Chains A and B, each alone.
Chain A
């Protein structure tokens, strides 16, 4: 028999996490589906379960002049509906799944699950967000783009819980987000693209680009962006991004379609806006 734990406080949760090899369960929209076996039969987990959805410490959205802090158990719907958050953050969440999924799926869950098609990762990569990982021994922070190692792989330790995501505030003046799927709503992405710009008096002063679903984890490269800020050479930027692509054909789309389309979207936007 497996045990399930539903602690009242984060402190208690961290203690349980430290003592027991368990699966951390937030919204459950991925975990629960994966354990499906036969309709009407229970979904049986192999590991003990630690429920964290109820922890009030992890359910807050805090906005200050310096940063935005999202609790790991903030739901996607809450992001979607929070008018204090910038549109470039809300839009990717709004286009994920369907209302029922977004009502329970969490910010932290989408990161820790680290699916290739996780739509929150490109925007979190582009925003230079950091994840906060806590254990009974303390906390550590690392860039989300380093935390996610690959498809379903992250750097989380067995005694840690991802508690927050910190997004530094920058002066983005414009952004472009596009999610491509095989229908208009309620569909996993074939690819997604986010571009953020900061312009001062028509001069491009900062830029962030991230591309989702093409590789096992989203593409984000500061050096390429910096090069473009200096040179303004769009074709060179596109070529450099292309060199980072190592996708495969799968049942959702083709390598060629993902690569060509994501680069064309970026090129088209930059030609019109940079």
Chain B
């Protein structure tokens, strides 16, 4: 195997022929089916729950059945089951267990809950007290306060919810046999779940086993949320000492699991002689009622807020609010799709104001190697934004596009960075990844990592890295779904870190194994993460290198806006990507196509609104994601910019491909209509309103 070989996905056939077993495909004879009893109000207290009597076959599991009623995420503010205090609609009160689903339904239909209801907080503007704010950050570069400027250009940008809508819903099965608690299910982070289980159950490390099953999409939706389900199921399995299954229905999944954080970004640009002297930015997000990963999402949104541009004077403030809305959480892009939309739309609007071409205008501010980032860290790597702009202009035949632009057509561009791996010193301070390679006596090489395949191509890419390094056929690689009894903690499958960080460690392990391949014995090589010395980060001041390395994208979107119906048709999309060196081009292309689909939805289709804490768009029919017919014609390419620490020069790719799409589409719609558009998604209903103004 050579790293440049074109191969098919290693998990492709089993998913096409149906032999891959998702959690819902695992049929067990004796199993308790669990259904969640949820709060019907957003804020208040449960005064009493009146469960029907005479149901000997039904078992209720609630906060009394768990050793420690806390779900360990980053903090422990979320209970496994709320004992009384309700903070959002759909908050779990208990699990109802039964072997006959109809009996469970019948039982649940008769439950009576009495609440004492308080008025909830549903808007960021209503968060006035200190307790309504989860976190607040500020960082500065240069001195924004003493600028001599001509004018301030200020705009406010907003984004709504987005649902991951993974094809496979949330689901898990738990059992408790021989004093071993086993959790199997659809997940991104087996060790997050294991750590949450140690915390909640009080069981020692060696009595908890977490096994990932074939996972049909996640997009961040299975990052922190499954820890809650695992803790609930652990309580249930340990109570009944039998297997318990919890599989969500689609509507339940949409209504109660994490969403992308709604946001508001206020950007003030200080201008002198048509130049941007500085930017003062406030980035705000709605975290819902529990902290979850909100703090980290806020940071990722904040830390690259000047994007691809060198702005000398910057003040960035970030605030995450606690409301009684649905719990917001991890979602591909992790705060950046919101803040990069704001920044990119702002840059477009500045270009428009100065009557400049949006690409030419951006070029004046492109960061270069050696410049300081927004957080005053030195960009150590080569930055090829100008070359990317040139490549994008060639690929899209940009000048021709502009020349031939017809009425109601619009052309929009975006340039965005995305940091690979955990923010700041997270990889070294928190994750401390470890990988193992095991060569067995049959000369097969086992990848022992907790990194999961969730549709993104991890198995293909990581297997390819190891097979290429060892120069063996990929068929000799064994990469089973992670089981915490068998694999070390290589960290969660998040933050676009899989290829770059985990792949990097596997590459080093493979280099070490290579000379030993002729040894007939079983050999295990272990590699631990070592932080690159030049990456320096101060988490208190938010100063330094916020990410290990940045990937970059440059996108042109071409739209047609129907002059009567205001429907937006994204006809073409061109993209140039710098992901270091792609280790598998087919996988990268898959990420690009998926990122475009998800970004297109985010930009112009996927409207999800909440009223009094209840999501209004809760089904496939009301929450419209793109189908094939909605996809633009896509032409994409990548430039090679090898990253020293990455395997074969690879950097991050997964999230990047989504982030730049909506901003380019928004800019194109703005170009087509002439309206100032500051809110995602852009819906025909909003354009009609603009037109009627």
List B contacts of A268 (CB < 8 A).
564
Binds A, one of B324-332, B394-402, B460-468, B684-692: B684-692
Check if B689 sits within 8 Å of A183, measured CB to CB.
no
Query: Is B605 an interface position by the 8 A CB rule?
Result: yes
Check if A184 sits within 8 Å of B627, measured CB to CB.
yes
Q: State which of A39, A184, A257, A264 has its C-beta within 8 Å of the C-beta of B685.
A: A257
Check if A39 sits within 8 Å of B249, measured CB to CB.
yes
Check if A261 sits within 8 Å of B101, measured CB to CB.
no
A263's closest neighbor in chain B, by CB? Answer: B564
Q: State which of B101, B567, B692 has its C-beta within 8 Å of the C-beta of A40.
A: B101
Query: Is A187 an interface position by the 8 A CB rule?
Result: yes
Query: Is A229 an interface position by the 8 A CB rule?
Result: no
Q: State which of B102, B105, B567 has its C-beta within 8 Å of the C-beta of A180.
A: B567
List A contacts of B24 (CB < 8 A).
39
Given contacts A38-B35, A38-B101, contact A251 B617 (CB under 8 A): yes
Check if B33 sits within 8 Å of A265, measured CB to CB.
no
* Chain A binding surface, main DSSP class: loop
Which A212-258 residues sit within 8 Å CB-CB of chain B?
Answer: 251-254, 256-257
Query: Is B629 an interface position by the 8 A CB rule?
Result: yes
Which B22-71 residues sit within 8 Å CB-CB of chain A?
Answer: 24, 33, 35
Q: State which of B102, B566, B622, B688 has its C-beta within 8 Å of the C-beta of A252.
A: B622
Q: How far is the CA of A38 from the CA of B621 in the complex (A)?
A: 18
Given contacts A38-B101, A257-B685, A261-B688, contact A183 B609 (CB under 8 A): no
Interface string of B610-633 (1 = CB under 8 A from A): 000000110001101111111000
B621's closest neighbor in chain A, by CB? Answer: A188
Query: Is B14 an interface position by the 8 A CB rule?
Result: no
Interface string of B80-103 (1 = CB under 8 A from A): 000000000000000000000110
Interface string of B147-162 (1 = CB under 8 A from A): 0000000000000000
Which A98-138 residues sit within 8 Å CB-CB of chain B?
Answer: none
Given contacts A185-B627, A251-B616, contact A265 B564 (CB under 8 A): yes
List A contacts of B17 (CB < 8 A).
none
Query: Is B518 an interface position by the 8 A CB rule?
Result: no
Check if B688 sits within 8 Å of A256, measured CB to CB.
yes
Check if B605 sits within 8 Å of A182, measured CB to CB.
yes
Query: Is A64 an interface position by the 8 A CB rule?
Result: no
Q: State which of B609, B628, B684 has its C-beta within 8 Å of the C-beta of A257.
A: B684
Q: How far is the CA of A252 from the CA of B621 in the complex (A)?
A: 9
A117's closest neighbor in chain B, by CB? Answer: B621
Interface string of A166-206 (1 = CB under 8 A from B): 00000000000010111111111000000000000000000
Which B167-193 residues sit within 8 Å CB-CB of chain A?
Answer: none
B251's closest neighbor in chain A, by CB? Answer: A36
A33's closest neighbor in chain B, by CB? Answer: B621
Q: State which of B102, B564, B616, B689 has its C-beta within 8 Å of the C-beta of A41.
A: B102
Q: State which of B249, B605, B607, B628 has its C-beta within 8 Å of the C-beta of A38.
A: B249
Query: Is B565 an interface position by the 8 A CB rule?
Result: yes
List B contacts of A41 (CB < 8 A).
101-102, 105
Check if B629 sits within 8 Å of A264, measured CB to CB.
no
Check if A186 sits within 8 Å of B605, measured CB to CB.
no
Query: Is A83 an interface position by the 8 A CB rule?
Result: no
List A contacts of B35 (CB < 8 A).
38
Check if B105 sits within 8 Å of A37, measured CB to CB.
yes
Check if B684 sits within 8 Å of A183, measured CB to CB.
no
Query: Is A42 an interface position by the 8 A CB rule?
Result: yes
Query: Is A260 an interface position by the 8 A CB rule?
Result: yes
List A contacts of B605 (CB < 8 A).
182-183
Query: Is B247 an interface position by the 8 A CB rule?
Result: yes
List B contacts of A185 (CB < 8 A).
627-630
Check if A183 sits within 8 Å of B624, measured CB to CB.
yes
Check if A256 sits within 8 Å of B33, measured CB to CB.
no
List A contacts of B564 (CB < 8 A).
261, 264-265, 268
List B contacts of A253 (CB < 8 A).
685
Interface centre among B249, B564, B567, B624 (most CB of A within 10 A): B564
Q: How far is the CA of A251 from the CA of B627 in the complex (A)?
A: 20
B617's closest neighbor in chain A, by CB? Answer: A251
Given contacts A251-B616, A257-B685, A261-B688, contact A183 B627 (CB under 8 A): yes
List B contacts of A40 (CB < 8 A).
33, 101, 247
Check if A260 sits within 8 Å of B629, measured CB to CB.
no
Check if A183 sits within 8 Å of B249, measured CB to CB.
no
Check if B684 sits within 8 Å of A184, measured CB to CB.
no
CB distance from B95 to the nearest CB of A (A): 14
Q: How far is the CA of A20 from the CA of B625 in the complex (A)?
A: 43
Q: How far is the CA of A25 from the CA of B33 in the complex (A)?
A: 30
Check if B630 sits within 8 Å of A257, measured CB to CB.
no
Given contacts A38-B105, A39-B249, contact A182 B688 (CB under 8 A): no
Check if B565 sits within 8 Å of A251, measured CB to CB.
no
Check if A261 sits within 8 Å of B566, measured CB to CB.
yes
Check if A260 sits within 8 Å of B692, measured CB to CB.
yes
CB distance from A88 to the nearest CB of B (A): 20
CB distance from B250 to the nearest CB of A (A): 8
Given contacts A182-B605, A183-B605, contact A260 B688 (CB under 8 A): yes
Check if A182 sits within 8 Å of B624, measured CB to CB.
yes
A37's closest neighbor in chain B, by CB? Answer: B105
List B contacts of A187 (CB < 8 A).
621, 624
Interface string of B554-569 (1 = CB under 8 A from A): 0000000000111100
Interface string of B655-693 (1 = CB under 8 A from A): 000000000000000000000000000011100110010
Given contacts A41-B101, A251-B617, contact A265 B565 (CB under 8 A): yes
List A contacts of B622 (CB < 8 A).
251-252
CB distance from A193 to the nearest CB of B (A): 10
Q: How far is the CA of A180 from the CA of B689 in the complex (A)?
A: 17
CB distance from B352 to the nearest CB of A (A): 26
A40's closest neighbor in chain B, by CB? Answer: B101
Q: How far is the CA of A186 from the CA of B623 in the complex (A)?
A: 12
Which B209-252 residues sit within 8 Å CB-CB of chain A?
Answer: 247, 249
The 9 closest A-B pairs by CB, nearest first: A41-B101, A182-B624, A184-B629, A257-B685, A251-B616, A185-B629, A254-B685, A264-B564, A183-B624
Given contacts A183-B627, A184-B630, A256-B689, 15 further A-B contacts (CB under 8 A): A39-B24, A40-B33, A42-B102, A178-B565, A180-B684, A182-B607, A183-B624, A185-B629, A186-B627, A251-B609, A251-B616, A251-B622, A260-B688, A261-B566, A265-B565
Q: Could you list which residues of chain B lie within 8 angstroms of chain A, going by C-beta atoms?
A: 24, 33, 35, 101-102, 104-105, 247, 249, 564-567, 605, 607, 609, 616-617, 621-622, 624-630, 683-685, 688-689, 692
Q: Could you list which residues of chain A lie within 8 angstroms of chain B, going by C-beta atoms?
A: 37-42, 44, 178, 180-188, 251-254, 256-257, 260-261, 264-265, 268
Selected A-B contacts with CB under 8 Å, 28 pairs = A38-B249, A39-B24, A40-B101, A41-B105, A44-B102, A181-B624, A182-B605, A182-B683, A183-B627, A184-B627, A184-B629, A184-B630, A185-B628, A186-B627, A188-B621, A251-B609, A251-B617, A251-B622, A253-B685, A254-B685, A256-B688, A256-B689, A257-B685, A260-B688, A261-B565, A261-B688, A264-B565, A265-B564
